[in-house]
Copies of this chain bind each other. A is one copy, B any other.
């Protein structure tokens, strides 16, 4: 099957080693030889055998990117940004940086996450980027940490983006707690006191941190008494937001605001409120989190906490390639910014 290095070498009348050197560009080769080799490569339409090269060099050009749900733009944006960083910067020798960033969709399942980790370890991936909230089950957390350590030990760079730090990994955490707190403070400042909260799946770090920030704001203002009753958990999707809103209204028809754990949920919240004949924000204010592209276009435009997902992903990509210096302590925090828009207003009366 297919033309090999040796074929190219024969054609260019040099040794295989020389061809290899020309191709990897990391070793001086006479200009004349180089062009001769390159021409042979072209004529033969030679394509390097990745596995063979990975085996010999004990490292591959694969970079794994794990995401919880690739159909969710939150992850799509991050993953796209990571991948965009993999292209060789102009002016580098063609081959060098041609990493293949591969996006793996865990669907939020711990088993599949571990499975992908093994698959990537098997491929001897050059680096790994784990994105999004982590599942908090202790066994699983330990398993992931162990795998990460083993990978790091074998030379794979591990970068975390949007989840809490673990040992042996560089981490970009999102300020979910602080952001959530500021968001709820915004609502409190507007005068809201009965605020519903639609949380994500219970066992995710992102879910917990955002909920904690929300509660912290309530507590600081002394209105935390009903917090438990006014919280409903669901998935990070639109349908959960819809259902949770109906449940919240059932529990307390008098609430004047609902905070959603993310923008996608917020969309469902809005839909449910409208279906119940409630106006936004006249009757109920709504806020989300993330500031996905559609949020500014929602009607009314959604108040939310903006997370610079693209920038974070790009930085994670550079860290994975070792193209950007480690943050102090290996951990950097990405801040969230309040985008106060039309979906929040002072409560009526």
Which residues of A are in contact with B by a Cβ distance under 8 Å? 1-2, 45, 47-55, 58, 60-62, 69-73, 75-77, 79-80, 83-84, 87, 98, 100-105, 107, 112, 115-116, 118-124, 150, 154-155, 237-238, 267-268, 270-271, 274, 293-294, 297-299
Give A67 Cβ to nearest chain B Cβ, in Å: 9
Contact, CB under 8 Å: A104 / B100: yes
A-B CB proximity, top 9 nearest: A102-B102, A51-B54, A103-B103, A71-B76, A51-B51, A50-B123, A50-B122, A51-B55, A71-B77
Contacts of A98 in B (CB 8 A): 115, 119
Contact, CB under 8 Å: A48 / B83: no
Chain B's closest residue to A99 (CB) is B119
Contacts of A124 in B (CB 8 A): 49-51
Contact, CB under 8 Å: A50 / B47: no
Given A70-B80, A267-B297, the answer on whether A102 and B103 have CB atoms closer than 8 Å is yes
Q: Which of A70, A101, A104 has the most CB of B within 10 A?
A: A70
Among the listed B62, B123, B150, B274, which residue makes an inter-chain contact with A45, where contact means beta carbons less than 8 Å apart?
A: B150
Contact, CB under 8 Å: B47 / A51: no
Given A55-B51, A70-B70, the answer on whether A105 and B123 have CB atoms closer than 8 Å is no
- 16 further contact pairs, Cβ within 8 A, besides A72-B76, A100-B116: A2-B154, A45-B150, A47-B122, A50-B51, A51-B53, A51-B123, A69-B80, A70-B76, A71-B76, A71-B77, A75-B76, A80-B107, A84-B107, A98-B115, A270-B299, A298-B299
Give A170 Cβ to nearest chain B Cβ, in Å: 21
Given A45-B150, A84-B107, the answer on whether A1 and B299 have CB atoms closer than 8 Å is no
Contacts of A104 in B (CB 8 A): 83, 100-103
Contact, CB under 8 Å: B55 / A49: yes
Chain B's closest residue to A106 (CB) is B83
Give A115 Cβ to nearest chain B Cβ, in Å: 8
Given A83-B105, A105-B79, A267-B297, the answer on whether A121 and B238 have CB atoms closer than 8 Å is no
Contacts of A150 in B (CB 8 A): 45
Contacts of A76 in B (CB 8 A): 70-73, 75-76
Chain B's closest residue to A82 (CB) is B105
- In Å, the complex CA distance between A103 and B60 comes to 17
Contact, CB under 8 Å: A71 / B80: yes
- In Å, the complex CA distance between A105 and B317 comes to 14
